[in-house]
Amino acid sequence: MNIVIFGPPGAGKGTQSNLIVKKYKLYQLSTGELLRKEIQNNTELGKKISSIINLGNLVSDEIVRNLIENYISKNIYKNKLIFDGYPRNLTQAKNLDVILKKNNQKIDIALKLSVGLKTIKKRILERKNLEKRADDNEQIAIKRYETYEKNIKPVIDFYKDSNLLTVINGEKPINEINDEISGLIKGIKGWL
């Protein structure tokens, strides 16, 4: 069971991934969180990417590919990953497929959380008070939303064509979304 979950900033990817990993003993792989950790730890990579992230742009496909490959290749994560915030574009979706194949794995479910810009702005401003993320201000949130919209269409088509895509209304209450995702997971043959 490997899942990808994508959606605009503030769609609830992190919240839902968190709930699912606890319920089904999976592991959350948030590329955004891994990148923020690099910045916090002031690593060479962190120094290189902080301005890119703080401007709401995407870091290079190569950097995130290396991050996810580290996880996918480890046995404890085998068939137990939720990719939160990856892939963000078609190249990343294809890279993910190649790496998974190399490790005898695949994606079982692709979830798209749909949320309108008005809700996103509201959620991001609320989150700013809780998490203190440098990229959670209105201007950068809009930029991140635009970056998402600009790149995601071919990713949606990619998973639609593979019959893996489920679109979820991300404006619904957290528990309803969670029930919907749980239903999908339970429907996967050979799982549970």
Q: Does 58 bind ligand AMP (CB under 6 A)?
A: yes
Burial of 166 (0-12, 13-18, 19+ CB in 10 A): middle
How near is the Cβ of 182 to ligand AMP at its closest, in Å? 22
Residues 6 or more apart in contact with residue 187 via CB below 8 angstroms = none
Instruction: Give the interface segment with ligand AMP, choosing from 86-94, 108-116, 163-171, 175-183 (CB under 6 A).
Output: 86-94
Before 9, cis peptide (omega within 30)?
A: no
CB 111 within 8 A of CB 124: no
C-alpha closest to that of 49 among 33, 28, 32, 35: 35
- Spatial distance between the Cα atoms of 101 and 99, rounded to a whole number of angstroms: 5
Q: Does 95 bind ligand AMP (CB under 6 A)?
A: no
Q: Which element (helix H / strand E) includes 36?
A: helix 31-40
Of 7, 12, 56, 170, the one binding ligand AMP by CB under 6 A: 56
Contact map string, positions 120 to 149, toward ligand AMP, x by CB under 6 A? ---------------x--------x-----
Instruction: Give the interface segment with ligand AMP, choosing from 39-47, 82-90, 167-175, 181-189 (CB under 6 A).
Output: 82-90
CB 83 within 8 A of CB 72: no
Q: Does 168 bind ligand AMP (CB under 6 A)?
A: no
Of 64, 96, 107, 152, the one binding ligand AMP by CB under 6 A: 64
Contact map string, positions 14 to 53, toward ligand AMP, x by CB under 6 A? -----------------xx--x----------------xx
Q: Does 65 bind ligand AMP (CB under 6 A)?
A: no
Q: Which element (helix H / strand E) includes 92?
A: helix 90-102
**Footprint on this chain of ligand AMP (rule: CB under 6 A):** 9, 31-32, 35, 52-53, 56-59, 64, 85-86, 88, 92, 135, 144
